[in-house]
Homo-oligomer: A and B are copies of this chain.
């Protein structure tokens, strides 16, 4: 199935304890599409770039099969720019600069060929813009949305409005606590799902991810990585792998959601191994398969004797 990704395509300047990268390709839609293209052939990107965006980056995305009919070139300004510095423990980061540039006036106007997109993946953006996208897609099978603390704090009403129209919300644990006002994640999930999304993913970084869908709770581990160079884009890569798997699969049910969380986690575990999206560019489908197999080994509980007699089935 087709997957439409809307988000940012940007320049990032990143510092981590392990190095620094200046004005490299970044942005949520970049990571989402570079991950999703491993899972489905029909990946459509809608985002805006400025006059400073080089043809080489456009080519890099096109070469990987990403449909760029919706990549808007706005020559009135520069591309969105973000700069951040990660601390030694990598869970903490300081934003050093955020220049919206052409993103400040971006109003999505989807190409006609995008309007029949089946899976819509809305990367972190102003919820009003996310809503404008939804207004232009005809009858999607699934809408997946990411957001962040900035929108939770500053635009709660447009966020509440868009949440009523999404099927899946994917946020991190701090955002889930903030959005719900509940420190306990199980309670937080109930509160958030009552806001609209029937399915909720809580991303916990090095602690994996939790999926709540129907009456099912699923806990995916994080891949134990010894060498993390740069966490930038991990959440967006997760989203691209997650939504990409759902675009690939025939039937969207609890089992498909579980597997999509693992695909998202596997792809995210690669992206942090190098700066920016670099690792996603060199990755092969075989390597993704191997990592998915490693997730199975990492979390499979062996069968064993029950205390009250008999054996438990390995499910």
Contacts and interface: CB of A to CB of B under 8 A. Distances in A.
A255 B207 contact: no
25 contacts: A88-B183, A184-B226, A185-B224, A204-B207, A207-B207, A208-B208, A208-B219, A208-B221, A210-B224, A217-B224, A220-B299, A248-B305, A249-B304, A255-B302, A258-B301, A259-B301, A259-B302, A284-B308, A285-B306, A288-B307, A296-B301, A296-B314, A299-B300, A299-B301, A300-B315
A187 interface: yes
Contacts of A225: 184, 186
A298 interface: yes
Given A187-B226, A262-B301, A312 B285 contact: no
A49 to B, nearest CB: 29
Contact of A218 (B38, B298, B313): B298
Interface string A281-295: 000111011001101
Interface in A70-93: 88-90
A222 interface: yes
Indicate how many identical chains form the complex. 2
A228 interface: yes
Interface residues of A, number: 55
Contacts of A206: 185
A289 B312 CA distance: 8
A39 interface: yes
A154 to B, nearest CB: 24
Contacts of A258: 301-302
A33 to B, nearest CB: 16
A220 B299 CA distance: 6
Nearest to A190: B226
A89 B90 CA distance: 22
Interface string A220-237: 111011101000000000
Contact of A224 (B186, B226, B262): B186
A55 B126 CA distance: 65
Interface in A40-88: 88
Nearest to A218: B298
A293 B292 CA distance: 23
A248 B304 CA distance: 11
